Chain A
Amino acid sequence: MNVKEKIELILKHIRTAEEREEVEGAITVLRESRYHESGSFDIGEILREKVSRKIASIFQEVIASDEYRKDSATSEIFFSELEKSVRAMRPLSITLAVEPDEKTIERASSWVTREVGKDIYLVFKRDGRVLGGAELVFAGRYRDFSLAWRLETFFWARKEDVRSMIHPS
């Protein structure tokens, strides 16, 4: 894999804001640890305490231990490119009534990656008032697909009907 492919693979696994933060943390740790004394060089071990298993295994997949240690120039290029790409990712905020489970995250993320773009990560927020559906915010633009809004407009359009039910004339 060349650098570009490696980066793309890592980005693919960044679905949420939390995961993005983890990856940024991982980059910092790995960068620094290049300058430490010898000892067994296990990326998994280095990352184990800092990031989740999933993220750690991605990095392990992408970086072969030896090449990582030996050629610091290449690895520096790799890390700075990766960092730039991660920083350039744009957030799509999704407000739901409940905390999303893993399945929801996966479905939402893959839909976005497929239909919209690979450089977008999701920021999940929780607000019970939404009731259902979602409120979306992206780059200052706002779309309300919430159940609460639907209900409001639904009833507003039918207020005469509701009135006549309570006060039959």
Chain B
Amino acid sequence: MIFDFKEYLNRTGEIGFVSKTVSSLIFVEGLPGATLHEVVVFESGDIGEVIALSSSVVSVLSFSKDPVRVGMRVARIGKNLQIPVGERLFGKVINPLGRSIDPGRPVPSGTEFRAIRKSPPGIIDRAIISEQCETGMALIDLLMPIGKGQRELVLGDQKTGKSMVLMRTLLSQVTQGAVGIYAVIGKGKIAIKQVEETLTNFGILDRVITVVTSADDGPGMMYATPYSAMTIAEYFRDVGRNVVLVLDDLSTHARIVREIALLGKRFPGRNSYPGDIFYTHASLLERAGNFSGKNGPVSITCLPVAETVQGDMTGYIITNLMSMTDGHLYFDHLLFAEGRRPAVDVFLSVTRVGRQTQTPLRLEIGRTVIPFLRKAADFRNFASFGSELGPHIKDVLEKEERLNEFFDQTVYHTIPGNLQLILFGFAWGEIWRGKTRMEVRIEIQKLVYSYASDVALRKRMDAYISRCDSIESLLTGLQQFDFSKK
């Protein structure tokens, strides 16, 4: 959207003059008919949003990174900020105003536009979360499942493998027909490029929309990023498509909100954040969820990211986000250092509404494996005292190793749900007992390959799984199952 300053001056018949600028906050005199959240355009062509009105001055949050000159003229648009939405955004990397950041790949013009500020839907529009949102990673899908429409916080120090997990989730869901939206908030240009590259390598760039701001785009733009991304998600939900929305990351977003508030001389609250920082994020995240659509439930699954420092989960923003979301996946830097991929700590992670979407078999697996892993961890501590290990304990530790080998997906981006169950059966049961880690790895490789390449075998494996409703039934049948090619 290009705004013709002169045209708006004439259309609205009102004019303003910049009287003061403080970073991205522009104070304008004049514009008597301005309303809250209205867009204004500066003579330079930059735009901003009205965030407060006093008797003497209009406070505007500028979306430009360049400073605005005092004395510059300002015109009202007469509308709130709207961005283009629709299929034309697929494969494009856009800024929060809907403009492509790559001039070689412009966004085609279209007719659908939506305002980025919106109240979340009411209770009556919601639907119970009942379908699993498969990430393609067995550790998460079996032990810490996510449901479609869930808001699951992705938590952890930097460089703990969060991005890869997010990308794989997008891969898994987009190939099943969902719309993927990845919002990058205030990161470096290299990080943004890497997002695009990974999506391209995964072959899903044409079904994902990337909304980005780099760290030097100015607070106004960075502030708007998640709202624009959510607005695009809502469009697709309204035309009946499921959406997976990644917001990377909200701790950066919180700092930007704080910066803008303090510059606007708002009294600092806890940790100097403005008193309504909770509401700022809550009103955003509440726009995601599972909703009752015309043709059945339709969801916006949201994966907001928050960075911890030295694993501290008790920070103010972190606890805020935890009380808004429906659970969190905690990425531990020690697990990452050990080579675990994904480096998710299942003891410290939570999923509040994921388990209700699981089949009885998967539910049982989660309920059995997590306490088992806890016990194994206790034994490990015990073993570190150097005392003799009885055969029972040795068995448990061996099984734990097999499980860890199974859960390790350094190599495989996604493993289909049914195949996860088959592999689990092998790792949990007696069939692989006594094998070394290397041998287990090779067995897994063979099965993954067979499943992917042999259609007939895959069909039989899928059929078998659908008949299993407990771990016992899974294990007994596995002994007799014929995995050879036919």
Q: CA of A116 to CA of B30 in the docked complex: distance in angstroms? A: 20
Minimum C-beta distance from B30 to chain A (A): 3
State the CA gap A143–B15 with chains docked (Å). 9
How many A-B pairs have beta carbons closer than 8 Å: the answer is: 27
Interface: B217 (CB within 8 A): no
The reply to whether A142 and B32 contact each other, CB–CB distance below 8 Å, is no
Contact A140 B32 (CB under 8 A): yes
Tell me, yes or no, whether A73 is within 8 Å of chain B by CB: no
Count A-side interface residues using an 8 Å CB cutoff: 8
Residues of A within 8 A of B15 (CB): 137, 140-142
Q: Binary interface profile of B, 1-37, with partner A (CB < 8 Å = 1, else 0)?
A: 0000010011011111000000000000111100000
Q: Which residue of B lies closest to A144 (CB)?
A: B10
Contact residues in A for B16 (Cβ distance below 8 Å): 140
The reply to whether the CB of A1 lies closer than 8 angstroms to some CB of chain B is: no
Q: Is A157 positioned at the interface, with any CB of B under 8 Å from its CB?
A: no
- Judge whether B32 and A141 touch: CB under 8 Å: yes
A55-67: contact bitstring with B at CB < 8 Å (1 yes, 0 no)?
A: 0000000000000
A143 B32 Cβ-Cβ under 8 A? no
Residue ID in chain B nearest A140 by CB atoms: B30
Contact assessment for B32 and A139 in the assembled complex, using a CB-CB cutoff below 8 Å: yes
A139 touches B30 (CB 8 A): yes
* Interface residue? A149 (CB, 8 A): yes
Residues from chain B with Cβ under 8 Å of A144 in the complex: 6, 9-10
Residues from chain B with a CB closer than 8 A to the CB of A139 are 30, 32
Q: Once bound together, how far apart are the Cα atoms of A144 and B4, in whole Å?
A: 15
A128 to B105, CA, bound (A): 39
Hey, what's the 0/1 contact readout for A75-107 against B, CB within 8 Å counting as 1? 000000000000000000000000000000000
User: Which A residues are CB-close (under 8 A) to B10?
Assistant: 142, 144, 149
Expressed in whole angstroms, the Cα–Cα distance for A140 and B29 within the complex equals 7
Contacts of B32 in A (CB 8 A): 139-141
For chain B, residues 30 to 75, give those with C-beta under 8 angstroms from any C-beta of chain A: 30-32, 75
How many whole Å from A67's CB to the nearest CB in chain B?
Answer: 40
Chain A residue numbers with a CB within 8 Å of B14 are 140-142
B interface size (C-beta, 8 A): 13
Cα A149 to Cα B31 in complex, Å, equals 21
A140 to B16: give the CA distance in the assembly, Å: 6
Nearest B-chain residue to A93, judged by Cβ: B15
Give the dominant DSSP class at B's interface. Answer: mixed
The 0/1 profile, CB within 8 Å of A marked 1, for residues 67-86 of chain B is 00000000100000000000
Contacts of A140 in B (CB 8 A): 14-16, 29-32
Tell me the smallest distance from the CB of A159 to a CB of chain B, in Å.
Answer: 15
* Complex interface residues of chain A between 123 and 139 (CB less than 8 A to chain B): 137, 139
* Complex CA distance for A149 and B4, rounded to whole angstroms: 13
Complex CA–CA separation, A137 to B13 (angstroms): 9
Q: Which residue of the partner chain A has the closest CB to B16?
A: A140
How many angstroms from the CA of A149 to the CA of B10 in the assembled complex?
9
CB distance from B5 to the nearest CB of A (A): 11
Q: Looking across the interface, which residue of chain A has its beta carbon closest to that of B15? A: A142
Q: A141-B15, A142-B14 are in contact. Are A149 and B6 (CB under 8 A)?
A: yes
Give the shortest distance, in Å, between B12 (CB) and chain A (any CB): 8
B6 touches A141 (CB 8 A): no
Residues from 21 to 70 in A contacting B, C-beta threshold 8 Å? none
Chain B residues lying within 8 Å of A143, measured Cβ to Cβ, are 13
In the complex, which residues of chain B have a beta carbon less than 8 angstroms from the beta carbon of A141?
A: 13-15, 32
Q: Could you tell me the distance in whole angstroms from the C-beta of A43 to the nearest C-beta in chain B?
A: 37
Q: How far is A143 from B32 in the complex, measured between Cα atoms in Å?
A: 14
Asked whether A142 lies within 8 Å of B13 as measured between CB atoms, the reply is yes
| Minimal Cβ-Cβ distance residue in A for B58 | A140
Cα(A139)–Cα(B16), bound, Å: 9
Contacts of A113-169 to chain B: CB distance below 8 A: 137, 139-144, 149
Report chain B residues within 8 Å CB of A137: 15
Chain B hits for A149, CB < 8 A: 6, 10
State A142–B32 Cα separation when bound (angstroms). Answer: 11
B77 to chain A, nearest CB (A): 14
| Closest Cβ–Cβ distance, residue A104 to chain B (whole Å) | 23
A144 to B9 alpha-carbon distance, docked (Å):
8
Residues in A neighbouring B6, C-beta threshold 8 A: 144, 149
**Residue among B14, B29, B31, B32 having the largest count of chain A Cβ atoms under 10 Å:** B14
State the Cβ distance, B4 to closest chain A Cβ, in Å. 10
* A143 CA / B30 CA spacing, docked (Å): 14
Q: How far is the CA of A35 from the CA of B32 in the complex (A)?
A: 45
Q: Closest CB of chain B to A138's CB: distance in Å?
A: 9
As a 0/1 sequence over residues 185 to 215 of chain B, the CB contacts with chain A under 8 angstroms (1 = contact) are 0000000000000000000000000000000
Nearest Cβ distance between residue A16 and chain B, in whole angstroms? Answer: 19
- Residue of A139, A141, A144, A149 most packed against chain B (CB within 10 A): A141
- Identify the interface centre among A137, A139, A140, A143: most chain B CB within 10 Å of its CB: A140
Contact with A along B288-306 (1 / 0, CB 8 A): 0000000000000000000
Complex: A140 Cα to B12 Cα, angstroms: 11
Q: Beta-carbon contacts of B257-286 to A below 8 Å, as 1s and 0s?
A: 000000000000000000000000000000
Q: Bound state CA distance, A137 and B12, in angstroms? A: 13
A-B complex: 5 closest residue pairs judged by Cβ atoms? A140-B30, A142-B15, A140-B32, A144-B10, A142-B9
Query: Interface residues, chain A, CB within 8 Å of chain B?
Result: 137, 139-144, 149
Residues of B within 8 A of A (CB): 6, 9-10, 12-16, 29-32, 75
16 contacting pairs across A/B (C-beta < 8 A): A137-B15, A139-B30, A139-B32, A140-B14, A140-B16, A140-B30, A140-B31, A140-B32, A141-B14, A141-B32, A142-B9, A142-B12, A142-B75, A143-B13, A144-B6, A144-B10
Known pairs A142-B13, A144-B10, A149-B6 / 9 extra A-B pairs, C-beta < 8 Å: A140-B15, A140-B16, A140-B29, A140-B32, A141-B13, A141-B14, A141-B32, A142-B15, A144-B9
